[in-house]
C-alpha cells in the first residue's frame, strides 16, 4: 500500500474525523487565549492549518458529499456580500483580513458538519467544553485564591475569592456566560441522549452552572430564560399528536409574539430587575451613535471588518465620540448594519432565520432529544446577538454556521434536486 493511499485512509477514517472535530472545537473556543498568550499570527496559523486539513478530508470523502449541499445558500450569499464590500470599504487590507477570518471559521464549521453527525458533534463539543471549563476554573482558583494576582495576559482578573466576576480563558464575563449556556445545553442533551452517564453528566452540569454563577453576567439569566421557554415549547410540540401539531405551532407562535411585545413594553422593569440599567444605558448610547453612521451609508455599510480591534474608521471615531474603547457594537445586528448595511442585515437575518425554522421543524417531528440541540443552540445565538457581537467572530460565528449547516442537511431545496438525480423521494416523516 502506497504512502498516499495510507494517508487517504487515515484522513477518511472515523477516528481522524473525531480527533479533528475535537481539536477544531478546542482551538475555536480557546481562540482568545491562543491569541493573547501567543499572538494573532499564531491563531491565524492554527486556523489555516485546520482549514487545509479540513479541505483535504473533504476531498478524500468527496464521494460521500454533494456539491449542492456543501453549504447553505444563505451563508454563501452573506459571505459574498461581505467580500464585495472590499470595493467600498475604508481599508481594503483590513476588510480582506477580516473576511478571511470570517471564511476560515465558517470553513471549519462546514467541515465538521460534513464529517460528523449531530450526536457525534454534540459529544465532541461536550468533551471540548468540559476541558476548557475545567481549565478556566483551575486558572481562576490559581489566580484568585492561591496566588491572589491577576493573569492579565489571559484577561483573568483574579476575583474568584470575592465572588467574581470571573472570565476564565474566554476574555470577558459575558463570553464566559455565553459559553456556559452552550455547555449546559450540550451537557443536558448528552445526558438525555444517553451519551453520558450521570457520573459524568451531573458534575459537568454543576461545573458549567458554577462558572455561569461566578461570571455575574446579566445575559446569562436572559439566555437561560429564553432557552427554558423554547425547550418547554419544543417539548409541547414534540409530544402533541401529529394531526394537531400545526395548530399547536401556530398557537405557540402567537404566544411568543405576545410575549415579545410584553417584554418590549416592560423593558425598563426587566432591566431594573436584572440590575443592568447602567449596562443597557451604555449600549443604548452606542447604538444611537451607530445609527448616525449607518444613515451615511444605509444600504452597503462601511465595509466588513469583524471585530473593531483593528482601529479603522468609523470605529475609532465612534469610540472617540463616546470616550470609550468598544471593540464591537455590543449587538450583532447593529454590527452587521454598520458594516454591511441593510442589505447585509437582511442576508444575516435570512441566514439565521431560515436555519432556526428548519431546525425547529425537524426537532418537532423527531423524537430523539439530540434533534433539539440545534434549535436550542440557534435560539441562544439569536438572543445573545442582542447583547453582544459574539455570533460574528470566533466561536459564536462557528456555532452559527455549524447549526445552519446541520439544519439545512435535513430540510433543504437541495434534497429535491439530489432526489431528481438519484430517484429517491426526500421525506421527513413525523415520529409519533
Q: What is the pLDDT along the chain (432 residues), one digit of tens a residue?
A: 577 777 877 878 888 889 999 999 999 999 999 998 888 899 999 999 999 999 999 988 888 777 777 888 999 999 999 999 999 988 888 899 999 999 999 999 999 999 988 899 999 999 999 999 999 999 999 988 888 888 888 888 888 888 878 888 998 889 999 999 999 999 999 998 888 888 999 999 999 999 999 988 888 888 888 888 888 888 887 777 766 777 777 777 777 777 767 765 655 565 565 555 566 678 888 888 899 899 999 999 899 998 886 667 888 888 888 888 888 888 999 999 999 999 999 999 999 999 998 888 888 877 788 888 999 999 999 999 988 889 999 999 999 999 999 887 765 444 544 444 444 434 444 444
Same domain? 30 vs 121: no
Quote the number of domains for the chain: 3
Q: Are the CB atoms for 227 and 185 separated by under 8 Å?
A: yes
Q: Are the CB atoms for 78 and 348 separated by under 8 Å?
A: yes
What is the structure's pLDDT at 311?
67
Same domain? 373 vs 335: yes
Alpha-carbon distance 146 to 150, whole Å?
A: 11
Alpha-carbon distance 218 to 215, whole Å?
A: 9
Same domain? 379 vs 288: yes
378 bridge partner residues: none
Neighbours of 395 (CB within 10 A): 22
Q: Are the CB atoms for 359 and 407 separated by under 8 Å?
A: yes
Q: Are the CB atoms for 362 and 411 separated by under 8 Å?
A: yes
- Assigned domain for 16 exists: yes
**Looking at residue 71, what DSSP letter applies?**
S
Residue from 402, 420, 417 nearest 359 by CA: 402
Same domain? 144 vs 247: no
Same domain? 308 vs 387: yes
- Sign of the alpha-carbon torsion through 78, 182, 246, 361: positive
Neighbours of 70 (CB within 10 A): 14
What is the structure's pLDDT at 419?
47
What is the structure's pLDDT at 61?
86
Same domain? 143 vs 270: no
- Assigned domain for 51 exists: yes
Same domain? 408 vs 324: yes
- Assigned domain for 105 exists: yes
What is the structure's pLDDT at 417?
47
Same domain? 110 vs 241: yes
Same domain? 30 vs 162: no
- Assigned domain for 18 exists: yes
Contacts of 351 (CB under 8 A, 6+ apart): 72, 74, 75, 77, 78, 400, 404
151 bridge partner residues: 156
- Assigned domain for 283 exists: yes
What is the structure's pLDDT at 420?
45
Same domain? 91 vs 194: no
Alpha-carbon distance 147 to 201, whole Å?
A: 31
Structural domain range at position 127 = 116-216
Alpha-carbon distance 107 to 84, whole Å?
A: 18
What is the structure's pLDDT at 271?
58
Alpha-carbon distance 391 to 375, whole Å?
A: 15
Q: Are the CB atoms for 414 and 66 separated by under 8 Å?
A: yes
156 bridge partner residues: 151
Same domain? 222 vs 189: no
Give me 310's grid cell.
483593528
What is the structure's pLDDT at 276?
53
Q: Are the CB atoms for 80 and 70 separated by under 8 Å?
A: no
Name the phi and psi angles at 156, rounded to 5: -90, 120
- Assigned domain for 428 exists: yes
Name the phi and psi angles at 56, rounded to 5: -65, -45
C-alpha separations of 106 from 133, 394, 422 in Å: 24, 9, 29
Give me 25's grid cell.
472545537
- Assigned domain for 70 exists: no
Amino acid at each position: 500500500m502506497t504512502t498516499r493511499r495510507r494517508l487517504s485512509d487515515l484522513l477518511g477514517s472515523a477516528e481522524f474525523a473525531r480527533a479533528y472535530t475535537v481539536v477544531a472545537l478546542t482551538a475555536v473556543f480557546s481562540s482568545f487565549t491562543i491569541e493573547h498568550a501567543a499572538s494573532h499570527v499564531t491563531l491565524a496559523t492554527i486556523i489555516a492549518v485546520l482549514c487545509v486539513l479540513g479541505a483535504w478530508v473533504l476531498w478524500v470523502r468527496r464521494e460521500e458529499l454533494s456539491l449542492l449541499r456543501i453549504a447553505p445558500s444563505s451563508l454563501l450569499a452573506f459571505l459574498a456580500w461581505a467580500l464585495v464590500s472590499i470595493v467600498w470599504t475604508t481599508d481594503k487590507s483590513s476588510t480582506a483580513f477580516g473576511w478571511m477570518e470570517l471564511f476560515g471559521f465558517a470553513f471549519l464549521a462546514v467541515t465538521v458538519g460534513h464529517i460528523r453527525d449531530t450526536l457525534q458533534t454534540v459529544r465532541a463539543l461536550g468533551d471540548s467544553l468540559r476541558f476548557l471549563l475545567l481549565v478556566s476554573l483551575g486558572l481562576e482558583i490559581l489566580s484568585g485564591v492561591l496566588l491572589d494576582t491577576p493573569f492579565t495576559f489571559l484577561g483573568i482578573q483574579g476575583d474568584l475569592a470575592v465572588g467574581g466576576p470571573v472570565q476564565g480563558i474566554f476574555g470577558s464575563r459575558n463570553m464566559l456566560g455565553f459559553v456556559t449556556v452552550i455547555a449546559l445545553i450540550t451537557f443536558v442533551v448528552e445526558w438525555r441522549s444517553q451519551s453520558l452517564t450521570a457520573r459524568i453528566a451531573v458534575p459537568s452540569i454543576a461545573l458549567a452552572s458554577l462558572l455561569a454563577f461566578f461570571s455575574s453576567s446579566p445575559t446569562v439569566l436572559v439566555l437561560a430564560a429564553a432557552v427554558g421557554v423554547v425547550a418547554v415549547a419544543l417539548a409541547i410540540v414534540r409530544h402533541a399528536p401529529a394531526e394537531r401539531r400545526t395548530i399547536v405551532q401556530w398557537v405557540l407562535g402567537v404566544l411568543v409574539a405576545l410575549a415579545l411585545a410584553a417584554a418590549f413594553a416592560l423593558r425598563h422593569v426587566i432591566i431594573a430587575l436584572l440590575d443592568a440599567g447602567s449596562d443597557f444605558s451604555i449600549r443604548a448610547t452606542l447604538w444611537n451613535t451607530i445609527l448616525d453612521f449607518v444613515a451615511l451609508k444605509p444600504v452597503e455599510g462601511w465595509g466588513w471588518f469583524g471585530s473593531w480591534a483593528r482601529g479603522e474608521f468609523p470605529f475609532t471615531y465612534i469610540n472617540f465620540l463616546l470616550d470609550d474603547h468598544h471593540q464591537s457594537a455590543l449587538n450583532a445586528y447593529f454590527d452587521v448594519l454598520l458594516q454591511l448595511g441593510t442589505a447585509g442585515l437582511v442576508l444575516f437575518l435570512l441566514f439565521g432565520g431560515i436555519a432556526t425554522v428548519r431546525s425547529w421543524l425537524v426537532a418537532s417531528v423527531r423524537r430523539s432529544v439530540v434533534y433539539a440541540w440545534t434549535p436550542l443552540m440557534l435560539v441562544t445565538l439569536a438572543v445573545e446577538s442582542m447583547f453582544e457581537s459574539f455570533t460574528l467572530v470566533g466561536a459564536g460565528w462557528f456555532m452559527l454556521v455549524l447549526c445552519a449547516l446541520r439544519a439545512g442537511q435535513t430540510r433543504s431545496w437541495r434534497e429535491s434536486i439530489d432526489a431528481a438525480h438519484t430517484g429517491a423521494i426526500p421525506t421527513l416523516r413525523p415520529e409519533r
